[in-house]
Amino acid sequence: MTLYTVLARPEPLTEPAVVPDRFRWTALLFAPLHALLSGLWVTFVLLVLVIAGLVAVAGFIGGGAAFLVYGLVAWLYALESPALERRKWRRRGFSREAERIAASADLAAVDWLQRGAGR
């Protein structure tokens, strides 16, 4: 079971956004690709700049140290990606409606809708 945040627009008949609040392994293993596919453009650019900077200084600090720094950055991104995604939805006009514990995002959305969609 996972905790999901349900975000919705005030207009009727809009599908809610459901964001799981958990560590994302795909974000750890493929941080820039995950940011790009999640629509987190600023985060994607920052991750690419960090990688480029680490490649540039890898000769000075060593490849192992550069890889460790990248691993720490990817770990932090994997922890914070749910918060970044919630912020993305709030910028698009969605507001936080509820938190639901469910087995999947679809079940969290259905539970929120069955309870009166925030009423």
Local structure of residue 22 (DSSP, 8 states): S
Residues 36-78: tens digit of each pLDDT: 999 999 999 999 999 999 999 988 888 889 999 999 999 999 9
Q: Domains of the chain: which residue ranges?
A: 2-114
- The pLDDT value recorded for residue 78 is 96
Residues 72-110: tens digit of each pLDDT: 999 999 999 999 999 999 999 999 989 999 999 999 999
| pLDDT beyond 70 at 5 | yes
Alpha carbon distances (Å) from 67 to 35, 46, 104: 19, 17, 34
For the chain, where are the alpha helices, taking DSSP H only?
A: 25-29, 31-37, 41-61, 63-91, 105-114
